[in-house]
């Protein structure tokens, strides 16, 4: 639902990166979205072309990095994998845990085309 708003934010950020590096366009955009971020990668992938239409990244591939849910137990110190609605320690079962991975909503990296004349299809 709100993925279009996220896609628009992504386009703005990537556009700033393109401008900052004096590039012509972006060819690959890699984002990391954890299940707890509240953003569905598939829906973002659907919304992205709409947000990117006519921009310097309209032909870019959008790639998602996997971010498993992991918690660190504040009671026993174990680091374990957890399910989205059961963020308890996998070792001792205590719920006093901290998320160490799985709630990311990150623009990780962008591949930029700096010189279009060197591109193979030109």
Residue 55, CA distances (Å) to 14, 58, 91 in order: 10, 5, 48
| Distance of closest approach, residue 47 Cβ to another protein, in angstroms | 12
Instruction: Report the residue from 47, 66, 112, 121 that binds another protein according to the rule CB under 8 A.
Output: 112
Residue 45, CA distances (Å) to 2, 5, 8, 34, 79 in order: 13, 12, 12, 15, 31
| Distance of closest approach, residue 115 Cβ to another protein, in angstroms | 5
Count, residues near another protein per rule CB under 8 A:
53
CB contact at 8 A, 79 and 101: no
SS3 at position 47 = helix
CA 64/CA 73 separation, integer angstroms: 28
- 11 counts as binding another protein under rule CB under 8 A: no
The nearer residue to another protein, 20 or 54, going by C-beta atoms, is 20
Binding site residues, another protein, CB under 8 A: 1-2, 5-6, 9-10, 12-13, 17, 21, 23, 27, 30-31, 33-34, 36-39, 65, 67, 71, 84-88, 95-119
């Amino acid at each position: 639902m709100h993925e279009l708003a996220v896609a628009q934010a992504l386009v703005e950020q990537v556009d700033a990166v393109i401008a900052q590096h004096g590039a012509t366009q972006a060819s690959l955009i890699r984002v990391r979205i954890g299940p707890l971020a509240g953003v569905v990668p598939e829906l973002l992938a659907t919304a992205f072309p709409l947000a990117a239409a006519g921009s310097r990244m309209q032909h870019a591939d959008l790639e998602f990095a996997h971010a498993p849910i992991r918690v660190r137990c504040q009671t026993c110190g174990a680091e374990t994998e957890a399910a989205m609605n059961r963020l308890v320690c996998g070792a001792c079962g205590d719920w006093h845990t901290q998320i160490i991975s799985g709630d990311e909503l990150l623009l990780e990296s962008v591949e930029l085309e700096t010189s279009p004349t060197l591109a193979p299809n030109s």
